[in-house]
């Protein structure tokens, strides 16, 4: 199966590459902006691709003729999206349109990554069919891109929504909450952590596995793929501290409104995972099992 990944330098992208590069069933092409930042360079299996450039997207698709596309690339910094809506629209919506059009020409199975931030967080955990109501520019852009994917006339499409992805990979352009909390607690640095946002954090390896299950089964429709354990961000940080035996007395609980962040966050998201479990055999790890995976990688 010829499979093309966008955003292969990102957290999910790197985990997909790690899982697929040795998979005998898959002929992998990884693409991302700029040079390949995989720990083991992919050589000719990597192509630099800025997905905002339609002609570049078309050229790569014509050369690779992908049977499956996993579209992970996005502008993922929620506050940056709020401050620069035009860039967010270009990266998250216009670029998705270029990819969808190319996928349509090649009859590719198009798997699109989306987010819990399409919901307003008043009624989590959410099922796939619940009604979206984004609160932020980022959430709107991801919902608009979902609608593009659904309504483009693609023969096979899937949307994989996820929540706070954590993990470790080299050369990431941004950190994640688990690494941030661990680093701050290790330094004994005082941190303010919100206690009024509730999430189900997702180990990047589990999300990659869910996406690959969608690809291999040719599954279509919307799937919720998150971790199993729901918690406030405060509890998340406390559990990271407990797992790594770090002092959490430096943590001050605060309310979201006190942080003055540009983008509004949904208070309570979380996903009901029944559909992914039953249809895909998706079996994400518990939070501490995920932390153990990360700890082993840090040691190696
Ligand atoms: N991370 C989360 O907590 C989270 C939660 C919900 C949903 N999601 C969704 O899951 C997906 C994967 O997230 P992630 O955590 O892997 O994000 P990430 O680590 O920020 O990776 C995104 C990757 O996309 C690349 N990219 C951005 N614009 C591009 C462009 N124009 N052309 C080519 N590549 C481009 C980035 O390149 P650079 O490295 O060069 O910047 C980056 O490597 C995204 O669609 C995101 O919206 C993530």
Q: What would the pLDDT profile of 87-128 be if each residue is shown by its tens digit?
A: 999 999 999 999 999 999 999 999 999 999 999 999 999 999
First to last CA, the chain: 31
pLDDT at position 38: 87
Task: Give distance in angstroms: CA of 186 to centre of ligand 1.
Answer: 27
Q: Which portions of the chain are predicted below pLDDT 70? A: none
DSSP code at position 155: S
Give the number of other Cβ atoms within 10 Å of residue 252's Cβ: 11
Alpha-carbon distances, residue 121 vs 132, 227, 261, 267, 268 (angstroms): 10, 17, 17, 5, 4
Q: What is the pLDDT of residue 53?
A: 98
pLDDT at res. 147: 98
pLDDT given at position 138: 98
Q: How far is CA 102 from CA 4, 61, 152, 155, in A?
A: 12, 7, 11, 13
- Atom number in ligand 1 closest to CA 171: 39
pLDDT for 102 equals 98
pLDDT score, position 174: 82
- pTM (global) more than 0.85: yes
pLDDT at 170: 85
Angle between helices 204-217 and 11-20 (to 10 degrees): 60
Cβ partners under 8 Å of residue 147, min gap 6: none
Cross-strand bridge partners of residue 271: 126
Total Cβ atoms within 10 A of residue 134? 20
Reported in sequence order, the residue ranges of the chain that DSSP labels E, i.e. its strands, are 2-6, 27-32, 46-48, 68-71, 109-115, 157-162, 165-166, 191-194, 198-199, 202-203, 221-224, 231-232, 251-254
For ligand 1, atom 10, the nearest C-alpha belongs to: 113
Residue 178: per-residue pLDDT: 96
Protein residues with CB under 6 Å of any ligand 1 atom? 7, 9-13, 32-34, 49-52, 72-76, 91, 95, 113, 115, 142, 162-165, 172-174
Predicted pLDDT at 173: 79
> What pLDDT, on the 0 to 100 scale, is given for residue 33?
96
Q: What is the pLDDT of residue 39?
A: 85
């Amino acid at each position: 199966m010829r499979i093309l990944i966008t955003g292969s330098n990102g957290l999910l992208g790197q985990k997909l590459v790690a899982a697929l590069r040795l998979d005998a069933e898959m002929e992998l092409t990884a693409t991302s902006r700029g040079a390949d930042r995989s720990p083991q360079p992919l050589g000719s299996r990597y192509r630099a691709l800025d997905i905002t450039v339609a002609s570049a997207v078309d050229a790569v698709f014509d050369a690779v003729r992908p049977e499956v596309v996993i579209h992970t690339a996005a502008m993922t910094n929620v506050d940056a999206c709020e401050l620069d809506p035009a860039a967010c629209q270009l990266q998250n919506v216009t670029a998705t349109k270029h990819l969808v059009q190319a996928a349509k020409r090649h009859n590719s199975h198009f798997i699109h990554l989306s987010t819990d931030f399409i919901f307003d967080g008043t009624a989590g955990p959410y099922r796939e069919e619940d009604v979206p109501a984004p609160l932020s520019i980022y959430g709107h852009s991801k919902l608009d891109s979902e609608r593009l994917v659904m309504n483009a006339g693609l023969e096979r499409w899937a949307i994989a929504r996820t929540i706070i992805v954590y993990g470790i990979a080299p050369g990431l352009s941004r950190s994640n909450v688990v690494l941030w909390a661990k680093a701050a607690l290790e330094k004994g640095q005082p941190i303010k952590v919100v206690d009024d946002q509730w999430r189900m954090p997702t180990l990047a390896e589990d999300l990659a596995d869910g996406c690959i299950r969608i690809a291999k089964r040719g599954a279509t429709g919307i799937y919720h793929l998150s971790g199993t354990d729901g918690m406030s961000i405060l509890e998340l940080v406390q559990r990271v501290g407990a797992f790594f035996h770090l002092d959490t007395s430096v943590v001050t609980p605060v309310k979201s409104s006190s942080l003055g962040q540009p983008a509004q966050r949904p208070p309570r998201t979380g996903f009901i995972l029944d559909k992914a479990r039953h249809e895909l055999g998706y079996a994400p790890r518990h939070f501490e099992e995920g932390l153990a995976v990360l700890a082993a990688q840090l040691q190696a």
